[in-house]
Structure 1
Amino acid sequence: MSRDFPAAEDTAGIAQAATEVRTGVMRLARRLRAERDPGELTLGRLAVLGRLERDGPATASALAAAERVTPQSMARMVQHLIDAELAERDLDPADRRAAIIRITEAGRRTVRQDRGKREAWLAQAMTGLTDVERELLVLAARLLDRLADS
């Protein structure tokens, strides 16, 4: 597949490339969501559990900021996770007025099972790619992570 890629000063070309990247990422995200069983946790709640598993305990306000939702929405998500025994609330030792949210072992299992199911589908789908295509996909994933952090 021979193709000319836009130079940094080619704003129209970069806009077209951005459209292609966005479209591909969104289609893949939808396909990965489709691998989830109906009735499982909402994506928002799962995202909070994943963040707690990855980054460790946090306050609800820190979680709200990180997930870019309102504190009220985060309070509802956290309460649902606590009610489901997937997370727990403890007093913050540094500030007894604040609470720290931490993932439970059941929450960890839930996150791992969800990730495992979707990663198994993705690994299977990737078997149809060549070695070079898989290497390019891994490189693209790393670049997408960099873009997400910008």
Structure 2
Amino acid sequence: MPDLTHGEDADAVNALRSSVMRLSRRLKHQRVDESLSPTEMSVLGTLARCGTATPGELARKEHVQPPSMTRIVALLEAKGLVRLEPHPEDRRQKVVTQTEEAEAMLEESRSKRNAWLASLAAELDEEEWAKVRAAAPVLERLAHL
């Protein structure tokens, strides 16, 4: 593996960090429901991708402490976006499931963000867009390392 901390590679790493952070911040502002925090939206997104999970599993996936996840789940439950159900194998635990309302809200949010991003991408020329398309799977991999 090359040393990415010096020279042109370090400049590329810096530019990638900066641009991903700026784009992420701008995407976060394209929300459908302003009453949900970015963390709450992230938890709903994790449930949409991964399915039902215990609060402990969600805490690990979201990189937060279990007590914090318990509070987040309680807030989402109070808003009618998740429900807690008995764990199928361990009755001492609960599993978190998103509601149909959460699914609809996430779909609307995805559509709004995709439309916003598509409008930005429409400003790119064909060569730039081809590079973004080619980079998308690599960025996806980086996001999940």
Normalised TM-score (structure 1): 0.89
Label 1:24 to 1:103 Cα distance change in 2 as closer, same or farther (>3 A): same
Structure 1 counterpart of 2:82: 87
Residue 124 of structure 2, aligned match among 120, 129, 135: 129
**Deviation of the 1:132 alpha carbon:** 2.2
Structure 2 counterpart of 1:59: 54
Structure 2 counterpart of 1:70: 65
Counterparts in 2 of 1:1-150, with a 5 A limit? Answer: 8-9=2-3, 11-12=5-6, 13-36=8-31, 39-150=34-145
- The runs of 5 or more residues in structure 2 that have no matched partner are none
Superposed CA deviations along residues 93-150 of structure 1, whole A, max 9, x for unmatched, are 1111110000100010111111111111001111111222112112222111112222
RMSD over aligned CA atoms reads: 1.7
Indicate the percent of aligned positions where both proteins have the same amino acid.
37
4+ residue segments displaced more than 4 Å: none
Partners of 2:64 and 2:4 in 1: CA distance? 35
**Deviation of the 1:76 alpha carbon:** 0.8
- The runs of 5 or more residues in structure 1 that have no matched partner are 1-6
Matched residue type, 2:35:
E
Normalised TM-score (structure 2): 0.92
**Deviation of the 1:35 alpha carbon:** 2.1
Label 1:88 to 1:116 Cα distance change in 2 as closer, same or farther (>3 A): same
Conserved? CA contact 2:44–2:98, under 8 Å: yes
SS at match of 2:92: strand
